[in-house]
Structure 1
Amino acid sequence: MNPAQQGLLSALRATGAVIPVTARSTEAFSRVHLDFGTRRAILANGAVILNGEGVAEPDWLAHTAHIGRSAEALLLDMSALIDAEFGTAARSWIVEEYGAPVYFCVKMNASAAEDVRTGISAAAELLASRFNLSGLQQHANGNNLSFTPTGISKRDACRHLIDSIRDGSGAPLIGIGDSLTDLPFMGLCDFIMTPSGSQIAGLMARTSDKDLTP
């Protein structure tokens, strides 16, 4: 974390709890050692909701596991195609939670930014040309291309969590994110915040430039 990020986390922690909402799996999140002021979290693009004790909510887990297993054959075929067509130029895997597949991810092994952009675009086009992806939500940001079954989302998980914990006290709920796919869950909050240089900020800048063009 840079000093600005550290300062923001400290300021937020001073006024309330910070609930992480992330694509990170349960295993990856277990390696994050930050004090958020709560053990609650939304993980794996919304597939897992950790409660106040840091334990996955079983009913939500069963709900998303059913959705993920319904898409498992398609995700396996997508992964096999990427391996066959890209070889060592890319890596792909299916993220699993408690034995159930929840989303599919592709990354390029190139180091140059232009090569990464070209590779991610090619992978997205290849998958779209071979499969019916209407039942998946596609997300691309930097060296990350992911496909999540419809019904598993950060927004759905956040709505469930907000409904269960909001107490009517009037405490403001602030949604913070950097990716376009964060906007749906951020829209559930009273205020939204995004870092400069983020995918969201870039879109806002491009939109603003167009609006100001005579």
Structure 2
Amino acid sequence: MTTPFFESNPNITKPYALMDLDDTLFQTQRKIDAWKLPTAESENLVCATVNKKGEPLSFMSQRQATFFNWLLASTDLIVVTARDRSEIKRVKLPFASWQVLTHGAVILTSNGQMLNDWQQHMYDALAPIQGKLAELTELIGKHSKNASDAPNDLVLTPHVDSFNDGSDSGANHDPLTIYLAIKHAQKNHQILADLAQKLPTLIPDFDEHFYVHVNANNLAILPHAVHKRHAVQFLLTNHLDNQCPSFGFGDSLADLPFLQLLDWYGMPSRGQLHEQRHAE
């Protein structure tokens, strides 16, 4: 049997593109200035997200907007983000495929409904540790109030979901806390890094139930069941065509495990992953 040589085919099969959002496809003006992004002059910026008041918050440079437009036209673009179901609504981009949200705790189908078999799996994993998450919330609140250097500068946000998409077929569950997010009001990243080191001492068997991810002014305390990699693996195994190629991009160390499931992956030329590689 002779192995054929490659011949071009006009019938294009769209690959899957699994993409992180914040700091990968767009970023705030503060980061645009800090990173000195090319083609990010004010006349070239495209609004990508808004804040809770509906005001522009994050932007794409001209190059990023061109890249995103190419992704929309040439790939089956799948969102993989830490944003939850409320936060993703403030992203003003025309997504039309699967969405992996809340660090992987939520998967939405192309019509915006929750993927029921995944959501039942996540509910079963999260329900038993609600007490631990409540205890952590209380302990972190006390830690913030008792901090001698800058009390009350830690902003704690529990991310909660009912795992109910509102349809008759959706699972109807009480709301559960999925993970805890902490920011520093004055953007003191070192304080968050120090807190990440202290967290395992605040609650017994912390490491058994949780892991911590820190990226700049974002600290996330996540149950082991919640991970972008777990959700992407579920999609690849159960819902995506295994004959289609896949690639993706992400900016943070938390993205790397899901990216490694794909055929090809990369990172933007700035951000946590890039800095880690550059340091090595």
With the length of structure 2 as denominator, give the TM-score of the two structures: 0.68
1:64·1:102 contact (CA, 8 Å) conserved in 2?
A: no
CA distance in 1, matches of 2:139, 2:185: 16
Residue 4 of structure 1 pairs with residue 63 of structure 2: yes
Query: Residue 252 of structure 2 corresponds to which residue in structure 1?
Result: 179
Query: Residue 136 of structure 1 corresponds to which residue in structure 2?
Result: 210
Residue 103 of structure 1 pairs with residue 179 of structure 2: yes
Aligned pairs, how many? 201
* Cα offset, 1:168, TM superposition: 4.2
| Counterpart code for 1:35 | P
Cα distance per residue 1:82-141 (max 9 Å; x no partner): 222213211112211111211111111114xxxx12210232233222223212121000
1:82·1:123 contact (CA, 8 Å) conserved in 2?
A: no
| Counterpart code for 2:155 | R
Match 2:107 to one of 21, 25, 49? 49
Query: Residue 49 of structure 2 corresponds to which residue in structure 1?
Result: none
| Greater share of helix | 1
* Larger RCO (alpha carbons 8 Å, 6+ apart): 2
| Greater share of strand | 2
1:65·1:101 contact (CA, 8 Å) conserved in 2?
A: no
Residue 157 of structure 1 pairs with residue 231 of structure 2: yes
Residue 80 of structure 1 pairs with residue 156 of structure 2: no
| Counterpart code for 1:163 | T
* Cα offset, 1:169, TM superposition: 4.0
Match 1:34 to one of 93, 107, 111? 93
CA distance in 2, matches of 1:77, 1:97: 18
2:236·2:242 contact (CA, 8 Å) conserved in 1?
A: no
Query: Residue 30 of structure 2 corresponds to which residue in structure 1?
Result: none
Match 1:70 to one of 106, 117, 128? 128
* Cα offset, 1:63, TM superposition: 1.1
1:178·1:194 contact (CA, 8 Å) conserved in 2?
A: yes
Local SS of the residue matching 1:30: helix
Cα distance per residue 1:151-208 (max 9 Å; x no partner): 22111100111223332444x211211110100100111110111111111111111x
Residue 195 of structure 1 pairs with residue 244 of structure 2: no
Pairing of 1:14-25 with structure 2 (within 5 A): 14-25=73-84
CA radius of gyration, larger in: 2
Runs of 4+ displaced beyond 3 Å: none
Match 2:192 to one of 107, 120, 123? 120
Cα pair distance change 1:74/1:10, threshold 3 Å: same
Query: Residue 212 of structure 1 corresponds to which residue in structure 2?
Result: none
2:229·2:258 contact (CA, 8 Å) conserved in 1?
A: yes
Local SS of the residue matching 2:66: helix
CA distance in 1, matches of 2:238, 2:94: 22
Unaligned 5+ residue runs, structure 2?
Answer: 1-59, 146-151, 163-174
With the length of structure 1 as denominator, give the TM-score of the two structures: 0.88
Unaligned 5+ residue runs, structure 1?
Answer: 208-214
CA distance in 1, matches of 2:194, 2:271: 23
| Counterpart code for 2:198 | L
Give the aligned CA root-mean-square deviation in angstroms: 1.5
Query: Residue 89 of structure 1 corresponds to which residue in structure 2?
Result: 153
2:77·2:97 contact (CA, 8 Å) conserved in 1?
A: no
Local SS of the residue matching 2:216: coil
Query: Residue 9 of structure 2 corresponds to which residue in structure 1?
Result: none
